Structure 1
Amino acid sequence: MTDRTAESPRSGPAAAAAEPSIGAAHAVLELERFLPYRLSVLSNRVSGMIARIYTERFALGVTEWRVMAVLGRYPDLSANEVAQRTAMDKVAVSRAVARLIESGRLQRDTHGDDRRRSVLRLSEGGYRIYDEVAPLAMAFERRLLGDMSDEERAMLFRLLDRLDELEFRAESEAGD
């Protein structure tokens, strides 16, 4: 096993020993204990490991796979709804949608009740990819969380749900 202290935000004695000396005249942001940083780095590392699977097999980027994953679970969403569900930039989602339509992995149709609204869904080719990648992603998650007890996994997801609630409330209050 390699020491990843230098490349990852670990807390504890190893991280404390690696802390740079910061003068009193500057603000201190302890990245090792700053939640947005920790979540971002962990998300990037985990997503990167899964991305290798679909990038090598299907030449898909992370944004394209996330669009496909959302539409595999929730078909008939607009591009804006996909962006909302993933918290991704609308422009990035729009570009990914265009590439996926061009490659035959997505279809764009008009909504049945509102002809002004376009909705997206996976094509047959898109579902073939989704049906292959989704089980691999779930197997990866099982391996990643495999050393956690059932109670730890349940607590992790409760805490993630709670963080989601708190972020939503903070965002709502910031908009007031």
Structure 2
Amino acid sequence: MSAAAKEAGLQLDGYLPYRLSVASNAVSGLIARAYQDRFGLTIPQWRLVCVLAEDGGLTQGQLVARTVMDKVTVSRAAQGLQKRALVARSDHHADGRSHVLALTDEGRALHAEIAPLALAYEAALISGLSPEEVALLKRLLGRLQAAAGQLAGETA
């Protein structure tokens, strides 16, 4: 390690934002390969399918807020799902400029098929943790996300 790095006190392997990013990329990459190989879905597409399965029809703006993905990523994912007839787009009843995206029957069937796989991956990932550690990890991640939002000037 260089003298400048020692003096700065920043060591990448001990830097929490870096560690979170690396862990997230490792988990997302593992799951992305499974979803792509088996179902032809990208991670953003899978997130939209999940959110629409949980929440029902949503506008693109609502999907952006719910998934914390940018507008372009949500738009591309939605277009890909529409092309595969997994998502249908309808007019928004209150806002003529907006559209609502909702899962089709095919989209709901795909979600029902993938959800057990997602839960199995989660179970395998946390198998070395106690239930108390899992609960603590979820709480801490929620607090870190809230702190990041606060630092970015977002409201809760």
The bucket for the TM-score relative to the shorter chain is 0.7 to 0.9
Q: Check whether the contact 1:101–1:107 (CA below 8 A) recurs between aligned residues.
A: yes
1:87-114 Cα shifts (integer Å, max 9, x gaps): 2121121111111111111111122333
1:29-53 Cα deviation digits (max 9, x unpaired): 4221222221111111111222222
> 1:168 aligned to 2:129?
no
Work out which of the residue numbers 46, 55, 75 in structure 2 matches 1:74: 55
Moved more, 120-129 or 30-39: 30-39
Structure 2 counterpart of 1:6: none
Q: 2:116 matched to 1:132? A: no
**1:80, CA displacement in angstroms?**
2.1
Which sections of structure 2, spanning at least 5 residues, go unmatched? none
Task: Give 1:28 shift.
Answer: 6.1
Q: Secondary structure at the match of 1:67?
A: helix
Equivalent in the alignment of 2:82:
101
> Within 5 Å, which residues of 2 pair with 1:1-176?
21-24=1-4, 29-172=10-153
Unaligned runs of 5+ in 1: 1-20
Q: Distance in 1 between matches of 2:63 and 2:9?
A: 37
Structure 1 residue 146: deviation in Å?
Answer: 1.6
* Deviation for aligned residue 1:27: 5.5
Counterpart amino acid of residue 77 in structure 2: A
Q: Deviations over 1:51-92 (max 9, x none)?
A: 222211221112211221221212211122212222212112
User: TM-score when scaled to structure 1?
Assistant: 0.78
Bigger proportion of residues as helix: 2
TM-aligned CA deviation for residue 23 of structure 1: 4.2
Question: Which SS does the other structure have where 2:152 is aligned?
Answer: helix
CA radius of gyration, larger in: 1
2:90 partner SS:
strand
Q: Is the 1:22–1:28 contact (alpha carbons within 8 Å) kept by the matching residues of 2?
A: no
